[in-house]
């Protein structure tokens, strides 16, 4: 089946000497993996590979067999030219980290336009704003809405957050955050990109990032610690 759609690059892995396997989240069909047999073999290989930088937003034409095997591109072009994500060290580090998280979090091989729209809108926001120190935290928390384990805001006065069940509790069980961590999470729940300037201290950001990654690992089977986590920590140290 011939498809024209938008796609967001989640990962690109070199295969043997000349080929590339690219994993994308597409607007039309959800998660898809594509095989590029001669990505490194032509004079224009650098130009080709540049399309597949982490979280690039592409316009693609592809042949989808929908048999669970690798698909093939017919045509690829950039759908949205980032102004500075690929040249700003902080933004590019955030994008590298988030691409790893998404690679380990999204398994839907079905159309999900709401999730695609969230990813696209968020990336465009990151590209066009400068106050971004809390962006990755807000992004990860809001992403859980689409992954099915957004925290239940059941009791705003409860002192503890239960990590396994995903709700606030008046009692501190063995899988609960402590009171200070719970306060930080509640503060994060009230943040959106448009009021992102309400800053956390760097130590608080590190605590929240640890909480969120632990929360992901509890609710997503096989979730892996992103390799780029240390780089991100260094950027915001």
Give the end-to-end CA distance of the chain in Å, rounded to a whole number: 48
Model pLDDT, residue 32: 94
Instruction: To the nearest 10°, report the CA torsion of 208, 106, 29, 24.
Output: 90
> Which residues are 122's β-sheet partners?
none
Token pair recorded at residue 33? 């993996």
154 and 197 share a domain?
Answer: yes
44 and 148 share a domain?
Answer: no
Token pair recorded at residue 95? 């994008």
Parent domain of 222: 84-237
| CATH code: domain of residue 13 | 2.40.50.140
Token pair recorded at residue 196? 């992102």
34 and 97 share a domain?
Answer: no
| CATH code: domain of residue 180 | 1.20.1440.120
8 and 95 share a domain?
Answer: no
**Kind plus residue range of the DSSP H or E element containing 57:** strand 57-63
**C-alpha to C-alpha distance for 230 and 100, rounded to whole angstroms:** 13
Length of the chain: 237
- The candidate with the shortest Cα–Cα distance to 193, out of 122, 94, 95, is 122
20 and 115 share a domain?
Answer: no
Tally Cβ neighbours within 10 Å of residue 121: 11
**C-alpha to C-alpha distance for 158 and 171, rounded to whole angstroms:** 8
75 and 88 share a domain?
Answer: no
Whole-model pTM above 0.75? yes
In contact, 31 and 23? CB cutoff 8 Å: yes
**C-alpha to C-alpha distance for 51 and 57, rounded to whole angstroms:** 9
30 and 61 share a domain?
Answer: yes
- The candidate with the shortest Cα–Cα distance to 55, out of 84, 107, 92, 21, is 92
Per-residue pLDDT tens digits of the chain, which is 237 residues long:
889 999 999 999 988 878 889 999 999 999 999 998 876 766 555 557 889 999 999 999 998 887 778 999 999 999 999 999 999 999 999 999 999 999 999 988 889 999 999 999 999 999 999 989 999 999 999 999 999 999 998 888 999 999 999 999 999 999 999 999 999 999 999 998 887 766 788 899 999 999 999 999 999 999 999 999 999 988 886
In contact, 125 and 87? CB cutoff 8 Å: no
88 and 77 share a domain?
Answer: no
Token pair recorded at residue 137? 């935290």
92 and 140 share a domain?
Answer: yes
Indicate the residue among 81, 111, 126 that finishes a domain: 81
51 and 102 share a domain?
Answer: no
> Which residues are 131's β-sheet partners?
none
200 and 147 share a domain?
Answer: yes
Indicate the residue among 81, 113, 134 that finishes a domain: 81
140 and 71 share a domain?
Answer: no
What does 71-135 look like in DSSP terms, one character per residue? Answer: BEEEEEEESS--SSTTT-HHHHHHHHHHHHHHHTT----S--HHHHHHHHHHHHHHHH-S--TTH
Indicate the residue among 64, 81, 98 that finishes a domain: 81
- The number of distinct structural domains making up the chain is 2
Model pLDDT, residue 63: 85
Q: Using alpha carbons only, what angle is made at residue 38 by residues 49 and 20, rounded to the nearest 5 degrees?
A: 55
């Amino acid at each position: 089946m011939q498809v024209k759609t938008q796609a967001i690059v989640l990962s690109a892995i070199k295969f043997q000497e000349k080929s590339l396997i690219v994993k994308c989240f597409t607007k039309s069909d959800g998660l898809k993996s594509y095989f590029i047999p001669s990505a490194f073999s032509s004079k224009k290989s650098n130009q080709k590979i540049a399309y597949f930088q982490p979280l690039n937003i592409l316009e693609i034409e592809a042949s989808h067999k929908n048999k669970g095997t690798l698909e093939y591109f017919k045509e690829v072009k950039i759908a949205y030219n980032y102004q500075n994500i690929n040249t700003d060290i902080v933004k590019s580090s955030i994008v590298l980290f988030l691409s790893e998280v998404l690679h380990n979090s999204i398994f839907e091989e079905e159309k999900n336009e709401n999730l695609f729209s969230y990813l696209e809108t968020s990336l465009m926001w990151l590209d066009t704003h400068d106050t971004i120190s809390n962006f990755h935290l807000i992004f990860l928390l809001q992403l859980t809405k689409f992954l099915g384990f957004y925290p239940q805001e059941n009791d705003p006065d409860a002192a503890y957050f239960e990590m396994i069940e995903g709700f606030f509790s008046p009692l501190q069980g063995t899988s609960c955050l402590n009171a200070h961590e719970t306060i930080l999470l509640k503060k994060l729940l009230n943040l959106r990109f448009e009021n992102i300037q309400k800053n956390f201290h760097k130590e608080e950001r590190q605590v929240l990032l640890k909480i969120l990654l632990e929360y992901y690992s509890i609710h997503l089977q096989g979730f892996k610690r992103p390799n780029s986590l240390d780089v991100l920590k260094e950027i915001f140290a």
